[in-house]
Structures are given as structure tokens and as C-alpha cells.
Amino acid sequence: MTFIYPKILAIDTSTDACSAALLVDHKINDQFIVAPKQHTKLILSMINELLNEAQLELNQLDAIAFGSGPGSFTGVRLATSIVQGFAFAANLPVIKISTLRILAQEVFIEFKAPKVLVAQDARMQEVYFGEYGVDNKGIMQEIKPDSLIKPENITKICADGFIGVGSGFEVYRDIFSQRCNIKIIDRKYAQAKYMLQLAEFEFAKGNMVSAKEALPTYLREKVVQ
């Protein structure tokens, strides 16, 4: 039996970068630009260009994936709104992907790092933190759930074998340099093209939600509650 690869559109607007990527026949085309506060103007045209290049209509996709957070409140809400609208209109399932996991997957793909600590600046002297390890299929899986913590509290789990990535390591460089002796990779923007390998994996496992269930991840809101 011939295996048919899924057609998946992925978008991320959780940081100052805006990105979209399309998986068709196991090949990826993407668009990525760092453009603070311009996501609303850019993301729809990026999606349309990718679909037009592939000669696809929205309803020909098998699923839509998005960076569901944590990240910029406005950016994550934008991606959520677009994905929900598309999923409702075309009756498509949605794949939610942690924005921290996307960065971890990039570090594995580009640097072959099997264990990654992700620290994204969350303002208010806090970071969004994720701890990830690669499985035997080359897919980053969470070791512990993503969390919102003070940067000084990460030190207790900074250990040999981990690679660090994310804007938090830059913003709180003094804290990390004194307490956390690991190699840091200078990457801080989640990119949709790195999301697609994760999305394809989750699609194959049936880990999808409906448009109504495609909700953002707000770690700070959980802390307040």
C-alpha cells in the first residue's frame, strides 16, 4: 500500500518573527521574516503565497498546525484566530504545537543536540521554560511540562548534555553565566518550518483537536489562577 504524506499548513506569530510553512509530498516551503508588530499585515499574504505556489486550496489540506504558545499574548492570539477561522471554514483538524518545542526541534535538526533547555523571555523577570529530549524518531518530546519561572530557578536543572536556546538566555545572561554552565545557541524565534516535522508526527498519531478546541497556551494565566 502506498503511503500518502499529509498536506499540512503551519503558522507561528508568537515572537517578533512571523512565519508560515507548507508541507506537501514530504517537502517544505516556507516564509519567515522578523517584523515586530506587523504580523497582522503579513501572515495572511504569506499563507496565500504558499498555497498558490503549491496550487492548493485550503480545503485540500489535511490539517493546520500552529504555535499555540507560550509567547507574545497578541501574537499567539492572532495565530489562534487565523487557525480557528481556517479550520472552521474548511472543516480541518488542528495540531497545537508548543512554541518552546519548536525551538527545541530546530536545535536538534540544525545542531544534532539531543537534549535542549528552552528559555524565552516572558518579561516581568520571568522566562517561559521548556525541557526537551529527542526520541528515537528524531522528534523532540517534553521531559517536563512547559512552565513560567524566575530565571534563577532554572539553575538547579542546568546539567551537562543540555544545550540552551531562546531569548531568555540573552536577556538574563548575567544570571545564567553565573549559575548555569551549558552551551547556548543564539536562536530565539520559533519558525514554522521546524514545526512541520513535529506536526507530521502528531498527525500520524492522531493528536489533533477541533477548531473550537484550538486554544492558546497562557502559562502566566495559569500562575494567576
Q: What is the pTM of this model?
A: 0.94
Q: Are residues 40 and 78 in the same domain?
A: yes
List pLDDT tens digits, range 120-173: 999 999 999 999 999 999 999 999 999 999 988 876 666 668 999 999 999 999
List pLDDT tens digits, range 181-193: 788 999 999 999 9
Is the residue at 22 inside a domain? yes
Is the residue at 174 inside a domain? yes
Task: Give the number of domains in the chain.
Answer: 2
CATH number, domain with residue 124: 3.30.420.40
Q: Are residues 176 and 195 in the same domain?
A: no
| Percentage of residues in the chain having pLDDT higher than 90 | 84
Which ranges of 91-183 does DSSP label H, i.e. alpha helix? 99-111, 167-171, 173-179
Report d(CA 8, CA 200) in Å as an integer.
8
Report d(CA 117, CA 27) in Å as an integer.
28
1 — pLDDT class (breaks 50, 70, 90) = very low
Q: Are residues 211 and 129 in the same domain?
A: no
Q: Are residues 135 and 177 in the same domain?
A: yes
- Host domain of residue 51: 8-98+190-218
Is the residue at 140 inside a domain? yes
Q: Are residues 75 and 27 in the same domain?
A: yes
Q: Are residues 61 and 88 in the same domain?
A: yes
Residue 164's alpha-carbon distances to 40, 54, 71, in angstroms, are 30, 36, 17
Q: Are residues 145 and 200 in the same domain?
A: no
List pLDDT tens digits, range 24-35: 998 999 999 999
Q: How confident is the model at residue 152, as a pLDDT? A: 83
